[in-house]
Amino acid sequence: MRISARADYAVRAVLELAVRQGGDPVKAETVAAAQDIPHKFLEGILGDLRRAGVVESRRGGGGGYRLARDAASITVADVIRAVDGPIVSVRGERPTGLSYTGSAQPLLPLWIALRANVRRILEGVTVADIAADALPDPVKELAAEPAAWENP
């Protein structure tokens, strides 16, 4: 699985809004500067997040962005889907839409299992978890494995 720059920036932007929640809306320029994200690129990302109901925006001098709902109800998967679409795809298709024949038939359950595993992680971590530096134990355990940090 590949995490796009767009998805990485989106998660970082939502996290920045989460840690600033409760005050005035946050300007895109502020988020861009705090997370070192190109401002124009961020504007497009924030538009996608707004259309997906992850963030809301207000125009004007006191305007900016804020989370559309509580950070504890926004998963990393929600953010990635908002900007990149399905989390796991094969040749741009969802695995459930594929079919294989002959010796390639065992690929389909492999792609489905991969998708299930990735979803289990990304749907199990909320923006609030990250903001509180409190990743769920299964995620911490996976990240603590020495092999997880190696590039084969």
94 residue type, one letter: R
Specify which of 37-41, 57-61, 88-92 reaches the highest per-range mean pLDDT.
37-41
User: How far apart are the C-alpha atoms of 119 and 132, rounded to whole Å?
Assistant: 21
SS3 category, 59: coil
What is residue 93's predicted lDDT score, i.e. its pLDDT?
A: 83
Average pLDDT over residues 2-6: 92
Residue 65 tokens read as: 């962005």
What is residue 10's predicted lDDT score, i.e. its pLDDT?
A: 98
Average pLDDT over residues 8-18: 98
User: How far apart are the C-alpha atoms of 79 and 85, rounded to whole Å?
Assistant: 9
What is residue 100's predicted lDDT score, i.e. its pLDDT?
A: 92
Cβ atoms of 49 and 17 within 8 Å: the answer is: no
Residue that is written with structure tokens 């190696």 in the block: 150
State the chain's mean pLDDT as an integer: 94
Reported as a single tens digit per residue, the pLDDT across 78-120 is 999 999 998 888 888 888 888 999 999 999 999 999 999 999 9
User: How far apart are the C-alpha atoms of 19 and 45, rounded to whole Å?
Assistant: 18
Indicate the pLDDT class of residue 147, thresholds 50, 70 and 90. very high
